Amino acid sequence: MNSMKCQLYSTHDITPHGTVDNQVWVSRRRGLILRQETDIDTGNGNKTHMSVRYDYSNVHAPAL
């Protein structure tokens, strides 16, 4: 992602069940989430990675 067009936010959480790392890219111009990456490590060999991209190109307001 172009860093001039979006802002990257990151979190790192440690819980009794494991660690969670999140990265979220937000459009500077529109304030909308563009992408999210999540990594979960339970510490007992179980790891999960989730990647989500958001596409707003075909979103329309409902008809009144």
Question: Does 5 fall in a domain?
Answer: yes
Q: Which two tokens stand for residue 49?
A: 């990675």
Question: Does 17 fall in a domain?
Answer: yes
In Å, how far are 11, 20, 34, 35, 43 from 56, measured between CA atoms? 25, 27, 9, 12, 36
* pLDDT for the residue numbered 32: 95
Question: Does 20 fall in a domain?
Answer: yes
The per-residue pLDDT string of the chain (64 residues; one tens digit each, 9 = 90 and over) reads: 666 799 999 999 999 999 999 999 999 999 999 999 999 999 888 999 999 999 999 989 999 8
Classified as helix, coil or strand, 22 is strand
Residues 6+ apart with CB under 8 A from 48: 38, 39, 40
Identity of the amino acid at 54: Y
In contact, 36 and 24? CB cutoff 8 Å: yes
Question: Does 47 fall in a domain?
Answer: no
* pLDDT for the residue numbered 2: 63
Domain range for 12 is 1-26
